[in-house]
Structure 1
Amino acid sequence: MFTQRQNRNLLEATGTTLSLIYHQAVYNLRSTHQNAIIGILLIIAQTLLFVSIFMLLYLLVGIRGSPIRGDFMLYLMSGIFLFMSHVRTVGAVSSSHSPGGGLVKHAPLNPAVLIAASALSTLYGQSISAIVILGVYHIAVNPISIYFFPGALAMFLLAWFGGVCVGLVFLGLRPWIPKIAPLLTMAYQRVNMIASGKMFVANTVPNIMLPWFAWNPLFHLIDQARGFLFVNYTPQKTDYHYAIWVFIGLLMLGLLINFTTRKYESVSWTAAQ
């Protein structure tokens, strides 16, 4: 038990890393509740609560139908699923570990494993939540028809990937500004409540107000997802390529900040906390 395992080739090293990511992801999922099934049900309940709140808000405002010709609930859920996948991944990755923490100093565990496990566990939880809610709605309430499912799925995965990239930036900033970085993460999540554009259709936004939302990659992804979901809607003011390039830039920035942080961070930085 005191002999350190040595990987003899690249295949064994890959298998070891994937195994570590799997077990860490399972640990992250079970950390919400001792029972894994109840933990998944809690994630589903939180998403349902979000959907219910926005549906009630629409009803109070007087909007009883979808701005897009199609199912109103599918329109509502399309924005919420992408929004929650993005902001939850940002929170999970940004708090996945401390670059100078003791846990990452025990091989073969490393920061990449902890980041990947946090991101994948969030993706798993949000995917199961979306599948269950859409499945129950399709069977019990109203059959759902999706115009181009691969495109809608790609937008969902891009929203998750964007959450990983943004979370990496906040993760790298935490050791430098430990009090401010969590506030910045929370502020980003709260701003996306409005700036993501999940409550309205991008084609109806006046051009004078478009710059308030067009900077946000999630705004583009949600609108593009609705274009893939509804046969009667064609996005005219958004482009998913913009989101891809922004996320790649944030990924490079996040990796640069994290590599620099691990090079210079000292344990004494957090000694007074």
Structure 2
Amino acid sequence: MRDLFRSFRSLSNPTRAAPQGYHERTRRLFIQRRNQNLIQAAGTTLALIYHQTVYNLRTDHRNPIIGLLLTILQTVVFMAAFLLIFLVIGIRQSPIRGDFMMYIMSGIFLFMTHVKTVGAVASSHSVSGGLTQHEPLNPAVLIAAAALTVLYRQTISILAILGLYNVLLNPVTLAHPVGCVAMYLQAWFSGACVGLVFLGIRPWAPKASQLLTTVYQRINMFASGKMFVANVLPNFMLPWFIWNPLFHIIDQARGDIFVNYTPQKTDPYYAIWFSLAAMMLGLLINFTTRKYESLSWSAGH
């Protein structure tokens, strides 16, 4: 701004000489930066995703540390509520031979990661939003940043809770740590793909899209299978849950956590194929919507 102000002063007073190289610097202020190759384009996109992710993290709360503490507190309250429900029902030990709290946390961590990613991606951007009017920002950057924001918060929350549990209560033991991380990332990725479908529906029917997102999140409170073990589920009830990718992810994650549990009714590859199909469908809807979407659609909302 100082250079711009000086340029106007020099224009108003032509007799005053400008510093050497000053006009070149002023000219660069009005030149839009363009990528020369694919590497520069990838670097620019990654930088935009990073800055937008940081912006999203600071949006909910001005202090990022307090925002993370609130996320951890929300997870702890969720765990305490489910523990109380199990105690009221009379379940005082894990259906799987192992740590009861690890059984509870295995379901809650993956459930919250999945449903929060669905909600974040489904509401990541709108054509009437101010950020979408500024290049080089684009919907892909906003979607990726929304998903990464949830991944960052949930990862810090899970590591903090497991660290405190390991120090204060019982040692945390995982039979297959790599498989646990893979199922955690799969829960996040499948949530992003499902949220992409709801995001494509949103411009056509905003209220219906918001309702469907909420219904999907509430259905997963029960249909995710976090409150029971899939191996003991009767076969006549299996069709109620087998459609849900989160049901397969949680059951497979418990097989990676507990050495004495082997999933028999879920498929580790089902969630992958479901996520890829949902991603293709979401991209198709979003690309089609972008051709017809207009600012006037949201004028009455």
Say if 2:62 is the partner of 1:34.
yes
**Deviation of the 1:100 alpha carbon:** 5.3
Could you tell me how far apart the structure 1 residues matched to 2:30 and 2:170 are?
59
Deviations 1:28-72 (A, max 9, x none): 111111001000000000011110100011011110100000000
Q: Percent identity among equivalent residues?
A: 67
Q: What TM-score, normalized to structure 1? A: 0.98
Paired amino acid for 1:111: P
Which one-letter code corresponds to 1:135 in the other structure?
G
Q: Distance in 1 between matches of 2:192 and 2:168?
A: 34
Residue 266 in structure 1 maps to residue 294 in structure 2: yes
Q: Give the match's secondary structure for 2:85.
A: helix
Instruction: Tell me the SS of whatever aligns to 1:240.
Output: coil
What amino acid is aligned across from residue 164 of structure 2 in structure 1? Answer: V
> Which one-letter code corresponds to 2:268 in the other structure?
Y
Partner of 1:146, secondary structure, is coil
Of the three residues 122, 126, 142, the one matched with 2:154 is 126
Equivalent pairs, count: 273
2:84 to 49, 56, 77: 56
| Residue aligned with 2:283, SS | helix
Higher RCO (CA < 8 A, seq sep 6+) = 1
Q: Secondary structure at the match of 1:37?
A: helix
The answer as to 2:253 corresponding to 1:225 is yes
Deviation at 1:101, TM superposition (A): 3.8
Give the TM-score taking structure 2 as reference length.
0.89
Cα distance in structure 2, aligned partners of 1:102 and 1:133: 37
Number of the residue aligned with 2:98: 70
Per the TM alignment, residue 5 of structure 1 is displaced from its structure 2 partner at its CA by 1.3
Indicate whether 1:242 and 2:270 are aligned. yes
Matches within 5 A, 1:1-273: 1-99=29-127, 101-273=129-301
Is the Cα contact below 8 Å between 1:99 and 1:258 reproduced in 2?
Answer: no
Counterpart-to-counterpart distance in 1, 2:288 and 2:221: 32
How much does 1:221 deviate? Answer: 0.4
Structure 1: which 5+ residue stretches go unaligned?
A: none
Structure exhibiting the larger radius of gyration computed from Cα positions: 2
Contact 1:137-1:143 at 8 Å conserved across structures: yes
Letter in 2 for 1:173: I
Amino acid across the alignment from 1:82:
L
- Contact 2:248/2:267 (8 A) holds in 1: yes
CA shift for structure 1 position 98: 1.0
CA distance in 1, matches of 2:125, 2:30: 26
Root-mean-square deviation over aligned CA pairs: 0.9
Aligned partners of 1:6, 1:245: CA distance in 2, in Å? 37
* 1:148-204 Cα shifts (integer Å, max 9, x gaps): 000011001000000100000000000001111101100000000000000000001
Q: Give the distance between the partners of 2:64 and 2:128, measured in 1 at CA.
A: 30
What is the CA-CA distance between 1:21 and the residue it aligns to?
0.4
In the TM superposition, residue 103 of structure 1 has moved relative to its aligned partner by 2.3
